[in-house]
């Protein structure tokens, strides 16, 4: 098995992280070309991909990235200025690396002609590119350590002390220290001494552990950053000390070089007292210290080469992380869900046995299960900024295609959500941003005529509201044309011409499949597919969509989403002998009412609630429960997208920690149900989709119709 086969997944994960960072930093540099830190970050990301690619056997990718790295080095040295054509080419190079990465893992092959065009374009930015086209040397393919040579050029040279000490498990991650030493020697005159004092006796020797470390003297025209870049992709797996000899040009040419004893004392290898004692013998100090056992011969050799003192600065502790495959994490969440279900069953059994000792143990187990649930769910929580960052490129490219001037502003990037939710948010947000660009933001001349800035703004905002996250896409464009939407809906037969619609109902018409007010179909929009995708995806996530718009001022579309899809807090209710779970996040209040409190009006039941009239839905009618109504019923008042609605049930049982199970394929179109859960007694309770129930009540039924409760067990099939 080749290195590429063995460590391909490791390299892909690292490369994907660096490529995501590259896109974010490239766009940052475009808006601020003088940001030195961002330019250095971009160069290090490219260097890491090149070095790691060569190390793991992805030579084609490493060779291509070398050309990008060469250009970025010139940008970093201010020999090449940042410009829009350069940014475009760097983005194209980043996209080409993504294509190469996909091809290396079974994707479509990369267009070799396209690669050559990008390489030629990169070289065209280099100073004197016509006369000095530099052949790409393979990454890490430099001279062997210990041989003298260096980079040509008129730059001032400096001498550096370097101590390269890999961790014991350095080899296990597929790394080879020789590659770093070879690349380091390519920077100039390099001398290396291997230190063996940490090697174990033969009988205890483990060939899988790195027990050597190296002292290096390097004379080079490269600066400190270039030397650090040699170790950039292995710096977390080793300790590296770099120090310039002579204090950055402060070395006194008239002063004698430091003596051997001074160097050894500076390194901490021997004490000043030991040096003074051995100097009394007036023999060679190095031989004396070696013979007396004060220091090894290798350390003396390193000191003679003016190696850097091993006075490591106390570095801030780095947070250690562990990569875990998503499938393993999903399996852990499922097991925690099963634990919660069985814990509920155990609690129910305990309540019937009336044993104090058992009840105490069960209560403690409940607490531990809840803590474990919170920890496991928090593991899957990620900042949504990882998704937000990719839309900056989308806005940049699309605004150029549409000849518009648009900026994207993001807020709340640190807001955390379940990774499963974040992954499924990409498509809806892409469609919303594309619609804002195409339909919302006007052309620059049109904006100026309306007294607006030429440059439009799209804001992508995430914030916590209770146990939900609200993500808003706001633009300062022309807003929604309600009359045009209503007229188009009538033309398509979606609503009768004489039906009066509220403002909210009119704006929600844009979510109907195939609905579009565009005059012509373009490459961006016009087919009426995007907003339908938004509706379906957000509904599948048990979320809600709210629209607000002001003519001439812009439109805001807010997506309300749960923090997690696995386990939620719910309210367990009963209708006859059937039980349901209503998500606790949408509940405002529970009321106990008799039949006299309900009035019949305009075809639906309503109740008076805190000075206003709100509609109510009877769950026994929705699910066709054939049983006698109790004299007193309870109403659960919820808030869905800013609209209050009550659900009439026979009895509110109480809070219930709900492990949501997906419904079978046959029931996926049932709009009123978002899942099911297993109760402590083994029975099944349906988890209600409040937004779906509201749509059914408004539209007279959903695509999936009603669900007969006799089928609820089959819903898991």
CATH number for position 275: 3.30.70.260
Q: What is the pLDDT of residue 155?
A: 56
Q: What is the pLDDT of residue 141?
A: 36
In a domain, 245, yes or no: yes
C-beta neighbour count of 402 within 10 angstroms: 17
In a domain, 41, yes or no: yes
Are residues 549 and 425 part of one domain?
Answer: yes
Are residues 507 and 632 part of one domain?
Answer: no
In a domain, 469, yes or no: yes
For the domain that residue 624 is a member of, what is the CATH number? 2.40.50.180
Confidence of residue 473 (pLDDT cuts 50, 70, 90): very high
Helix (H) or strand (E) holding 387: helix 385-401
C-beta neighbour count of 363 within 10 angstroms: 11
Q: Give the separation between CA 438 and CA 510, rounded to whole angstroms.
A: 15
Least confident of 4-18, 54-68, 138-152, 418-432: 138-152
What's the average model confidence in pLDDT over 141-154? 40
Q: What is the pLDDT of residue 475?
A: 92
Q: How does DSSP assign 249-294, residue by residue?
A: T---TTSPPPPHHHHHHHHTSS-HHHHHHHHTT-S-HHHHHHHTTS
Q: What is the pLDDT of residue 247?
A: 55
In a domain, 612, yes or no: yes
Highest mean predicted confidence (pLDDT) among 379-383, 660-664, 688-692: 379-383
Check the CA dihedral 49-54-55-58 and report its sign: positive
Mean pLDDT (the chain, rounded): 77
Confidence of residue 134 (pLDDT cuts 50, 70, 90): very low
Are residues 558 and 442 part of one domain?
Answer: yes
Confidence of residue 524 (pLDDT cuts 50, 70, 90): low
Helix (H, G, I), strand (E, B) or coil at 481: coil
* Tens of pLDDT, residues 632-641: 888 888 887 6
Are residues 582 and 554 part of one domain?
Answer: no
Q: Give the separation between CA 573 and CA 427, rounded to whole angstroms.
A: 35
Return the closest-CA partner of residue 441 out of 460, 456, 459: 456
What's the average model confidence in pLDDT over 289-315? 62
Q: What is the pLDDT of residue 706?
A: 42
Q: What is the pLDDT of residue 461?
A: 92
* The two three-digit tokens of residue 268, written as one number: 């901490």
For the domain that residue 390 is a member of, what is the CATH number? 3.30.565.10
Q: Which has more pLDDT, 399 or 8?
A: 399
Res. 526: pLDDT tops 50: no
Are residues 666 and 653 part of one domain?
Answer: yes
* The two three-digit tokens of residue 308, written as one number: 């850097």
Least confident of 147-161, 332-346, 620-634, 661-675: 147-161
C-beta neighbour count of 361 within 10 angstroms: 13
Are residues 648 and 626 part of one domain?
Answer: yes
Are residues 594 and 582 part of one domain?
Answer: yes
Helix (H, G, I), strand (E, B) or coil at 515: coil
Residues of the domain holding 214: 158-249+258-304
Return the closest-CA partner of residue 72 out of 47, 95, 52: 47
Confidence of residue 317 (pLDDT cuts 50, 70, 90): very low
| Residue found under tokens 């056997």 | 57
Are residues 295 and 398 part of one domain?
Answer: no
What's the average model confidence in pLDDT over 348-357? 83
Q: What is the pLDDT of residue 156?
A: 67
In a domain, 140, yes or no: no
Q: Give the separation between CA 247 and CA 676, rounded to whole angstroms.
A: 70
Q: Give the separation between CA 438 and CA 175, rounded to whole angstroms.
A: 49
Q: What is the pLDDT of residue 309?
A: 44
Domain edge (last residue) among 124, 145, 167: 124
In a domain, 356, yes or no: yes
DSSP 8-state symbol, 438? I
Residue 596 CA to chain centroid, in angstroms? 54
Are residues 278 and 168 part of one domain?
Answer: yes
CA dihedral defined by 193, 196, 197, 199, rounded to 10 degrees?
A: 160
Q: What is the pLDDT of residue 286?
A: 67
In degrees and rounded to multiples of 5, residue 130 shows phi and psi of: -70, -35
Q: What is the pLDDT of residue 522?
A: 53
Q: Is 211 exposed, middle or buried (0-12, 13-18, 19+ CB in 10 A)?
A: middle
Which residues, 6 or more positions from 57, have their beta carbon under 8 angstroms from its beta carbon?
2, 3, 4
* Tens of pLDDT, residues 231-277: 887 888 888 888 887 654 444 544 556 677 777 777 777 787 777 77
Return the closest-CA partner of residue 337 out of 715, 659, 608: 659
* Tens of pLDDT, residues 535-544: 878 877 777 7
Q: What is the pLDDT of residue 231?
A: 86
CA dihedral defined by 673, 675, 678, 683, rounded to 10 degrees?
A: 30
Least confident of 196-200, 339-343, 518-522: 518-522
Strands 599-601 and 604-609: antiparallel
Q: What is the pLDDT of residue 472?
A: 92
Return the closest-CA partner of residue 435 out of 539, 549, 540, 542: 549
| Residue found under tokens 């650090």 | 228
Domain edge (last residue) among 380, 396, 414: 380
pTM of the model: 0.59
Highest mean predicted confidence (pLDDT) among 300-304, 439-443, 489-493: 439-443
Which residues, 6 or more positions from 53, have their beta carbon under 8 angstroms from its beta carbon?
11, 15, 59, 61, 62, 65, 139
For 641-702, the three-class secondary structure string (H helix, E strand, C coil) is CCEEEEEEECEEEEEEEEECECCCHHHCCCCCEEEEEECCCCCEEEEECHHHHHHHHHHCCC
What's the average model confidence in pLDDT over 493-519? 75
CA count, 13 A, side-chain hemisphere, 108 = 5
Q: Which has more pLDDT, 138 or 434?
A: 434
Q: What is the pLDDT of residue 453?
A: 92
Res. 150: pLDDT tops 60: no
Radius of gyration of the chain (CA): 34
Q: What is the pLDDT of residue 456?
A: 92
Least confident of 14-23, 107-116, 216-225, 522-531: 522-531
The answer to whether 89 touches 126, Cβ cutoff 8 Å, is no
In a domain, 314, yes or no: no
Give one word for 208, left, alpha or beta, with left for phi > 0 and alpha for psi -120 to 50: alpha
For the domain that residue 84 is a member of, what is the CATH number? 1.20.120.160
In a domain, 177, yes or no: yes
Res. 559: pLDDT tops 50: yes
The answer to whether 694 touches 604, Cβ cutoff 8 Å, is no
The structural domain count of the chain equals 5
Least confident of 64-73, 366-375, 490-499: 490-499
What's the average model confidence in pLDDT over 448-475? 88
Least confident of 98-102, 139-143, 272-276, 627-631: 139-143
Are residues 574 and 519 part of one domain?
Answer: no
Beta-strand ranges (E) seen in 128-267 are 158-166, 188-195, 213-220, 238-244
Are residues 205 and 88 part of one domain?
Answer: no
Least confident of 17-21, 104-108, 413-417: 104-108
Least confident of 91-95, 567-571, 579-583: 567-571
What's the average model confidence in pLDDT over 578-607? 73
Q: What is the pLDDT of residue 459?
A: 93
Confidence of residue 316 (pLDDT cuts 50, 70, 90): very low
Are residues 80 and 165 part of one domain?
Answer: no
Q: What is the pLDDT of residue 287?
A: 67
The answer to whether 655 touches 584, Cβ cutoff 8 Å, is yes
């Amino acid at each position: 098995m080749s290195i590429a086969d063995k460590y391909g997944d490791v390299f892909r994960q690292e490369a994907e992280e660096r490529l995501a960072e590259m896109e974010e930093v490239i766009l940052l540099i475009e808006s601020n070309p003088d940001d030195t830190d961002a330019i250095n970050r971009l160069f290090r990301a490219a260097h890491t991909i090149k070095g790691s690619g060569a190390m793991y056997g992805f030579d084609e990718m490493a060779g291509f990235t070398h050309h990008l790295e060469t250009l970025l080095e010139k940008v970093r040295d201010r020999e090449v200025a940042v410009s829009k054509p350069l940014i475009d080419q760097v983005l194209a190079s980043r996209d080409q690396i993504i294509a190469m990465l996909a091809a290396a893992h079974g994707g479509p092959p990369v267009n070799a002609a396209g690669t050559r065009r990008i390489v030629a374009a990169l070289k065209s930015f280099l100073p004197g590119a016509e006369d000095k086209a530099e052949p790409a040397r393979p990454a890490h393919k430099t001279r062997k350590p210990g041989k003298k040579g260096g980079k040509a050029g008129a730059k001032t040279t400096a001498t550096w002390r370097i101590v390269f000490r890999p961790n014991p498990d350095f080899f296990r991650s597929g790394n080879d220290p020789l590659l770093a030493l070879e690349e380091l020697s390519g920077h100039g005159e390099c001398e290396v001494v291997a230190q063996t004092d940490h090697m174990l006796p033969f009988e205890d020797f483990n060939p899988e552990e790195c027990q050597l470390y190296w002292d290096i003297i390097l004379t080079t025209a490269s600066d400190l950053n270039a030397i650090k870049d040699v170790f950039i992709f292995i710096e977390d797996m080793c300790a590296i000390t770099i120090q310039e000899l002579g204090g950055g040009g402060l070395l006194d040419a008239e002063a004698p070089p430091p003596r051997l004893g001074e160097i050894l004392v500076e390194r901490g290898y021997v004490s000043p007292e030991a040096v003074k004692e051995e100097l009394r013998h007036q023999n060679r100090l190095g031989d004396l210290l070696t013979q007396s056992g004060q220091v090894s011969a290798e350390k003396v050799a390193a000191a003679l080469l003016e190696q850097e003192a091993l006075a490591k600065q106390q570095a801030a502790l780095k947070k250690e992380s562990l990569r875990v495959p998503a499938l393993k994490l999903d399996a852990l969440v499922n097991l925690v869900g099963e634990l919660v279900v069985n814990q509920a069953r155990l609690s129910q059994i305990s309540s019937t046995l009336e044993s104090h000792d058992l009840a105490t143990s069960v209560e403690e187990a409940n607490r531990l299960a809840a803590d474990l649930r919170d920890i496991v769910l928090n593991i899957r929580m990620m900042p949504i900024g990882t998704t937000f960052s990719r839309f900056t490129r989308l806005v940049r490219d699309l605004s150029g295609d549409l000849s518009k001037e648009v900026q994207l502003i993001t807020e709340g990037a640190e807001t955390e959500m379940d990774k499963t939710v974040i992954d499924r948010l990409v498509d809806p947000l892409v469609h919303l941003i594309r619609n804002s660009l195409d339909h919302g933001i006007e052309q620059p001349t049109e904006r100026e005529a309306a007294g607006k800035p030429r440059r439009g703004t799209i804001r992508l905002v995430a914030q916590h509201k209770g146990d939900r996250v609200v993500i808003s896409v706001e633009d300062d464009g022309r807003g929604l044309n309600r009359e045009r939407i209503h007229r188009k809906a009538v033309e398509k037969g979606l609503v009768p011409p004489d039906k009066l619609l509220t403002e909210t109902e009119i704006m929600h018409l844009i979510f109907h499949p195939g609905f579009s007010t565009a005059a012509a179909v373009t490459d961006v929009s016009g087919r009426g597919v995007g907003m339908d995708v938004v509706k379906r995806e957000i509904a599948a996530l048990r979320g809600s969509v709210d629209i607000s718009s002001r003519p001439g001022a812009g439109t805001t579309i807010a997506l309300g989403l749960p923090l997690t899809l696995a386990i939620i807090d719910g309210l367990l209710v009963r209708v006859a002998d059937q039980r349901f779970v209503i998500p606790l996040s949408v509940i405002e209040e529970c009321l106990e009412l008799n039949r006299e409190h309900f009035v019949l009006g305009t075809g639906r039941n309503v109740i008076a609630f805190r000075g206003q009239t709100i509609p109510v839905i009877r769950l026994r009618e929705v699910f066709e429960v054939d049983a006698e109504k109790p004299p007193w019923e309870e109403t659960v008042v919820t808030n869905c997208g800013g609209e209050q609605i009550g659900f009439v049930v026979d009895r509110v049982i109480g809070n219930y920690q709900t492990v949501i199970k997906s419904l079978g394929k046959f029931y996926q179109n049932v709009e009123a149900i978002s899942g099911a859960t297993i109760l402590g007694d083994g029975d099944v309770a349906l988890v209600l989709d409040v937004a779906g129930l509201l749509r059914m009540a408004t539209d007279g039924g959903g695509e999936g119709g009603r669900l007969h409760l006799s089928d609820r067990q089959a819903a898991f099939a």
